[in-house]
Amino acid sequence: MKILIVDDEMLAREVLKTQLEALHYQNIKMATDGKSALLSLRDEIPDVIFLDICMPEMSGIEFMEQAANYKKDIVYVILSGYDIFEYAQRTMELGAYKYLLKPVDTQTLMNTMHSVETMIAKQSKEEERYADLNKRIMEVDLELSLLQSLYQEDSVEMNNRIKALYDLYLSEEYTDIKQLGKMHLSVFVLLHKELGKSDIESSTILEDEFLLYRKIQAMDTISDMQTFLLSKIQVCKEAIAGQGRTGHEKIMLRAKEYIKQNMGYNLTLESTAEYVNFSPTYFSRFFKNEAGMNFIEYVTKARIEEAKELLNRNVKTADICSKIGFRDIKHFYKIFKKIEGVTPGQYKRGLITK
């Protein structure tokens, strides 16, 4: 545990340091005033700060107000030679854990440190849990999850998927309302976007995404939020289903046109997905389902078809490679023969013969 003692009285600092060392705390630093203590926070943030409330130039209260810019959950044990209610009240408002009168006897210090250790352990556990929650949330592709609900699943599967999404943000100990709110807003934005992709005027199906967000965040229970969200997804699902395959076909036409126009450049699944406003993960599945082959296979075949067109026009092989995105002529020959069964030269001679 890292401890910082901030006190302008040398004797008070040394006595407290000795008492703490007797309790087997070794990582202890000292500062003679608030300003130097504030500077030390740039290099290292302590777990606990023993802080004298009355110091020249910068008081303990001023120090706490400015130190909040570095880290908000430092444990403060306030030291004072005066039992003044106003001091105690203000430090507690700023997050002080204990207010001790000087000199501090060993038993009081021991009890204080025991409770401080318990609190820090609890904070650490909460931070680990929150980090784990954020990790699990980051691993979930929200767009993929939502689109599977919209396009691929029946009502029971959709309910289960949305419930699983909510479970990420909830636990027995606490609910992360802030992250939950971000999820709600993201879903409403995505719903509007998906309606637009299917040539549906989203405002005729859904209210404004921020109005929906305010409505759901004002609800009293998670169950009510979940029911509300499911109802909006279901409305969109029915609207999109009513459009048939028109929306899908338009997206594929856009994707294929993008591939044709950009095959001579650094064409990637990610850039194509971005062009049609899909996440790469969902677009990969969507494309394979619609085209009957994966993205790489389609692009490779499209490039070879374009190469054949250029061979028909008697374009040089080196120029063809440049136009269709092959940087290595040997690799182009190998792929061409694999797909067509003949080399580009044989293919061209066959054209001449015909």
Q: What's the mean pLDDT in 46-71?
A: 87
- pLDDT per residue as tens digits for the range 306-320: 999 898 888 888 899
Query: Is the model more confident about 112 or about 173?
Result: 112
Angle (CA) 50-97-180 rounded to 5° is 125
Residue 199 falls in which region: left (phi positive, over 0), alpha (psi -120 to 50) or beta: left
Res 244 pLDDT > 70: no
Q: What's the mean pLDDT in 38-47?
A: 90
Spatial separation of the C-alpha atoms in residues 212 and 185, rounded to whole Å? 8
Tokens of 145: 């999850």
Task: Please list the residues that pair with 325 across neighbouring strands.
Answer: none
Helix axes 295-312, 344-353, angle to 10 degrees: 40
Angle (CA) 159-149-206 rounded to 5° is 95
Closest by Cα among 220, 227, 221, 150 to 190: 150
Q: What's the mean pLDDT in 252-260?
A: 88
Q: What pLDDT does residue 136 have?
A: 55
Instruction: Tell me the average pLDDT of the chain.
Output: 83
Res 89 pLDDT > 80: no
Spatial separation of the C-alpha atoms in residues 265 and 167, rounded to whole Å? 43
Tokens of 292: 């009957």
- pLDDT per residue as tens digits for the range 146-198: 776 776 656 777 788 788 777 776 654 545 666 778 888 888 888 888 888 77
Q: Which residue in this structure is represented by tokens 């029911």?
A: 227
Backbone angles phi, psi at 287, to 5 degrees: -65, -45
Q: DSSP string covering 96-133, please?
A: -SEEEESSPPHHHHHHHHHHHHHHHHHHHHHHHHHHHH
